[in-house]
Each structure stands twice: as C-alpha cells, then as structure tokens.
Amino acid sequence: MTEFDNRLEKLKRPKLLVRAARIGAALYKPERDLRRIMVLYQITNTADILTQLLEKEAEIDSVRRRVATQWRKYDPARHIELLAAIIWEARDTAQLRAL
C-alpha cells in the first residue's frame, strides 16, 4: 500500500460530500479544472498534484469541522471540487501503477 492509498483510505467525509465529489469526478477534466483548483499548475507529477490536493482538502475539511468558531466561511462547493479532483487523480495514479 502506497502513501496515497493509506491517506485516501483514512479520509472520512460525510456521505453527501463524497457522493457529490464522485459526480464531480466524472465531469472532471484536469487540463481545465486543475488550473482553477491549484495555483501552481506547473507541477506535472501526479504524485505531487495529489499531495497538494490532499493538503488543501485537509485544510478546508478542518474549516468545515470548526465552522461555528472559525472566522473564515466554509465553502462546500470548493470542498466538493477538491474531493472530485482527488478522486480523479487517485484513479489516474492507480491506473498508472497498474501498467
């Protein structure tokens, strides 16, 4: 099991978020959507992209969990977008490992 498999397996998110993210992953196009999600699009290594996506998702999930005491507003659309990207990139990584 790789580091990513381990991190992805430990992600526990509300079912509604996951369902919406799966739908979003089916529509996800990295050449279009990754630029909007990540500031540093120059990264071409899928492992580095997935690492950054997981870090950003962890940050937004932390905000979601403490939304009542947090001064920043939680953005569920952004959270779904990040989860969709993670799902798509993880599938892409798994397909590359299978080759």
Question: What pLDDT was estimated at residue 71?
Answer: 60
What's the pLDDT tens digit per position in 41-99?
566 677 788 888 888 888 888 888 877 555 667 888 889 999 999 998 888 776 655 54
* Residue owning tokens 């659309």: 77
pLDDT at 2 over 70: no
Q: Report the pLDDT value the prediction gives residue 80, as an integer from 0 to 100.
A: 92
Pair 81, 24: CB distance under 8 Å = yes
pLDDT greater at residue 21 or residue 44: 21
* Interatomic CA distance for residues 15 and 35, integer angstroms: 27
Report pLDDT for 83.
Answer: 92
Domain locations in the chain as residue ranges:
3-98
Distance of CA 48 to the CA centre of its chain: 12
